[in-house]
Amino acid sequence: MSALPVPRLTPEQYLAIERAADFKSEYYDGQMVAMSGGSLTQSVIPPRLVAVATALRGRGCEIADSDLRVRIGPQGPFVYPDLTVYCGEPILADDYRDMLLNPTVVFEVLSKSSEALDRGYKFGQYRKIESLHEYVLVSQTSPSIEVFRRQPEGTWVLTEFTGMDAVCRLASLDCEFPLADIYRNLKLEP
């Protein structure tokens, strides 16, 4: 018995379905992938990261939550980062104003179901965005944040911030925040 072929969607078909849907789905190479709900820890961390917005006051940067879609290329992928920072004027894909093309920093909160995708395929795709300066992976199993920074020659360098006493620095935004502010009183996932 053979498997039935999965119909491929064009980016336009994906966007038409997605904009009418009651739930979010990402788009990878012709496939629409529904996003699952997160754990308590995964849903508490992003609002705490919004504290970064305080450090951005007066710098011409804004922070957006996971409802803002990021388009990586004209044919996709189309993704919903946990948080996105853009600096300067936002460049949006169309008049719907729901798809950002020029993120400066992207945050992903790692989960068991998403970690391999976030570290592998998604990071490889995000690196194609010229405006992206930093890619931030936030653990929900320990107080740990990994920041990948684009270097002037185009390579990426990892800096890890670990422990409740650590202070995460985002060079592209010229701001920092203590990990204790993100992880305080959280029961981290095993």
What gap in Å lies between CA 82 and CA 68, rounded to an integer?
9
In a domain, 21, yes or no: no
Does some domain include residue 6? no
- Within a domain: 10: no
Full DSSP string of 132-145: --EEEEE-SSSSEE
CATH assignment at residue 164: 3.90.1570.10
**pLDDT score, position 6:** 64
Could you tell me the CA-to-CA distances from 84 to 2, 29, 110, 181, 185 in Å, in that order?
41, 22, 15, 19, 25
Q: In the chain, how many domains are there?
A: 1
Question: What are the mean pLDDT values of the chain's consecutive 10-residue runs (190 residues total)?
Answer: 72 95 93 85 87 79 94 95 96 96 97 92 96 97 97 97 96 93 87
Q: Give residue 28's pLDDT.
A: 94
Q: Does a structural domain hold residue 2?
A: no
Return the bridge partners of 137, or none: 108, 146
Domain of 163 in residue numbering reads as 38-183
Does residue 19 sit within a domain? no
* In a domain? residue 155: yes
What CA–CA distances, in Å, run from 83 to 31, 74, 107?
23, 21, 5
Looking at the DSSP bridge assignments, the partners of residue 159 are 147
Q: What is the pTM of this model?
A: 0.92
* Tokens found for residue 5: 């072929």
Q: Is residue 27 in a domain?
A: no
Phi and psi dihedrals of 99, rounded to 5?
-145, 110
User: Residue 5 has what pLDDT?
Assistant: 63
Task: Kindly report the backbone phi and psi dihedral angles of residue 175, in degrees, each rounded to the nearest multiple of 5, phi listed first.
Answer: -145, 165
